[in-house]
Amino acid sequence: MGTTSTKDVKGTVDQIMRCADVGFDLVRITVVGMKEANACHEIRDSLNRKGYDIPLCADMHFQPKVAIKTAEAVEKIRINPGNFADGRKQDEDEVSYETDEDFLRDRDYMVEAFTPLIETCKKFDRAMRIGTNHGSLSARILSFYGDSPRGMVESAIEFADMCRALDYHNFVFSMKASNPVVMIQGYRLLAAEMYRLGWDYPLHLGVTEAGEGEDGRMKSAIGIGTLLADGLGDTIRDTRDVTLFTRQRGRLPAQREGDVLDYRGLLHRDGSVLSALPLAELSALGQMGSFGRSALFKSLGCKLLEGADGEAIPLKDVATSDALLLREPPAPDDEYSRATLAALAKGGLHCIVPAAALAANPLPGAVALVELADLEAKLLLRTGGGADGGAATSALGDAVPVAGFWLCVPADLEVRLCCPPAGDSGRLAVTVRGDESDEQLATLCAREAEVDLLLVETPERLSRLHASRRLFNTLKERRVDLPVVHHLRTPAVDSAELALRLGACRPDRCWATGSATASSSRRSARRVDLYVGKTVVQRAIPNEVACDALVELIKEHGMWKDKEEEEEEEEEEEEEEEGEEESKAALEAMAA
């Protein structure tokens, strides 16, 4: 949705063109009166003259005549049944209906007001969204159905009936509310009602005024994610409250329909878990058949579903590893290993492989691990500027289309990056060392749309704590929301029960590690503190012995398990399960 005033024709046109240039499919603008309606005609004409045919959607409230005027200029109209022709001009207590006939009879004026808009949409082949809002139900609906999801659904069904009566079917539904529970109930009830009526119109999912930051993401994820898990929804909208934050252009998500995979979930600012798997062990699982595949999925923390053919289907969960690290991809004839990795990728757990190995043996869906020294190896379909300001262009003719992360330093951003060719799915990661100038960090923030994550790799001569705090303060001041990952090294721990977190991404939030059993937080460039829960148990431990100290701390609390111990426990659990099954079978035989 645009952030300019619709009456500002030039500013709105410029913003729409910028959106179209980065791949937006539709832009929504607000129309509240006849001035905005006339501006819509000027905006559409200006875009056509400049060669932009991106569809526009007008968000309408009140005034049916204004909606008719606007529908002549834009490709889609959003109307709110609660205030389009039946606005809340009186309190619901002042309206009462004794019978259903009285309630239906009182909507005649709504048909009279809505019919001209339907005819205009049919004439100009316009689309419509019937968007009910829980907070703006009309007095008529409130008095009969109350402030409930049923009232939201009935309000939308009324307008849909009017559209169908005139043989107009180019519309979608939305049931938005600021409360995710009410929103979920409204959509589910609408889906059930459409099923009863034999309708099949699209659903547009969204949580009204979800807000910014963690709370907004949680509300949107709860509302939209629950409905998507139900199999409901055709389009989604993630609301951003621009009144609380600096207005700025956003970034389009990487996930789109087709073969493009979403790599944004690989690394997280709160710490990432990468599971290393030797190729020999992966290939050896093939001798165990489906049992070996299920065991691998469980060891990675995946939830399992049973497919139609009896094979286990992995699903990513909260406890699942973020990615699987392989030093080399399976051989082309190793169908078992490749099918296993494909199943993991489909379930949301991708495989990271060194770019050089992928170039020699491509693996569909894998993410390339690229080092700074390999930028000129022609593995990624991108070009960029060198740190000295000179252009460093790679020949793209024989480049291998490998999806991965492209690492650079902030100085590279001072040179304009070339646009990637069509089909490029590479990701841009910027390495921050901590000694960048304020101008370089400002350039980094200004070009947020071109960056996917920040990798902090501070040299020993600098304080990681100071560099991290400086970076986060800069991002906070400029309202930039980018994932930040710290480059840390730790030995592998063979225990699925251990919650281990290395915290350094948010130096002012040591309590963020409170959910971990044991954790390590960097105190300075050469020393770390060790935590158990939220309590500091050891301070200022030198880096050289920090890993050993962390392992000893884990062992002290009885959370360290060697592979032999885990295998023994698994055997004991299997024996117990077999004994329970035998006892159950004996009881059933006695009962028979």
Give the CATH number for residue 462.
3.20.20
Confidence band, pLDDT 50/70/90 cuts, at residue 164: very high
* SS3 call for 322: coil
Within-domain flag for 478: yes
| Ranges 13-17, 254-258, 298-302, 378-382, most confident | 13-17
Residue 29 structure tokens: 């603008």
Closest CA to 234 of 265, 190, 272: 190
For the stretch 2-18, pLDDT in tens is 888 899 999 999 999 98
Query: What pLDDT is recorded for position 337?
Result: 86
pLDDT at residue number 536: 73
Last residue of a domain, one of 487, 503, 519: 503
Model pLDDT for residues 28-57, shown as the tens digit of each residue: 998 988 999 999 999 999 999 998 989 999
Read off the pLDDT of each residue in 96-121 and give the average, rounded to a whole number.
82
Q: What is the average per-residue pLDDT within 511-516?
A: 37
Question: Is 258 inside a domain boundary?
Answer: no
Whether 116 is in a domain gets the answer: yes
Torsion sign over Cα 511, 513, 515, 518: negative
Query: What CATH number did the domain enclosing 195 receive?
Result: 3.20.20.20
Together in a domain, 543 and 493: no
Mean of all residue pLDDT scores within the chain: 72
CB contact at 8 A, 64 and 117: yes
Report the C-alpha gap between 5 and 2 in whole angstroms.
8
b/e map 197-217, b = 16+ CB within 10 Å:
eeeebebbbbbbebbbeeebe
pLDDT, position 590: 74
Question: Is 375 contained in some domain?
Answer: yes
The answer on 326 and 193 residing in a single domain is: no
Provide the pLDDT for residue 231: 86
Query: What pLDDT shows up at residue 500?
Result: 42
Examine the domain organization and report whether 287 and 225 are in the same domain: no
pLDDT band at 194 (very low <50, low <70, confident <90, very high): very high
- Return the DSSP state at 331: P
Q: Give pLDDT, residue 499.
A: 40
In a domain, 412, yes or no: no
Position 519 in a domain: no
pTM for the full model? 0.46
For residues 165 and 283, membership in a common domain is answered with: no
590 within some domain: no
Alpha carbon distances (Å) from 21 to 252, 381, 419: 11, 20, 11
State residue 380's pLDDT score.
36
Residues 127 and 200 both lie in one domain: yes
* pLDDT score for 450: 61
Look at residue 211 and tell me whether its pLDDT is greater than 70: no
Q: 306: which 2 tokens?
A: 């049973």
Which among 175, 326, 325, 159 is positioned nearest to 237, based on CA atoms? 175
Q: Is 52 helix (H, G, I), strand (E, B) or coil?
A: coil
pLDDT at 206: 86
CA gap 109, 94 in Å, rounded: 18
Q: What is the per-residue pLDDT for 426?
A: 44
The residue ranking higher by pLDDT, 262 or 116, is: 116
CA triplet 5, 6, 10: central angle to 5 degrees? 90
Q: Which of 48, 60, 47 is nearest to 12 (CA)?
A: 47
Residue 247 located in a structural domain: no
345 pLDDT above the threshold of 60: yes
Mean pLDDT of the 91-117 span: 75
Instruction: Give yes or no: residues 279 and 228 share one domain.
Output: no
| Percentage of the chain modeled with pLDDT above 70 | 67
Print the domain residue range for 89: 9-236
Tokens of 381: 């379909």
Res 448: pLDDT: 67
Cα dihedral 84/89/91/97 (nearest 10): -60
- Select the more confidently predicted residue: 455 or 320: 320
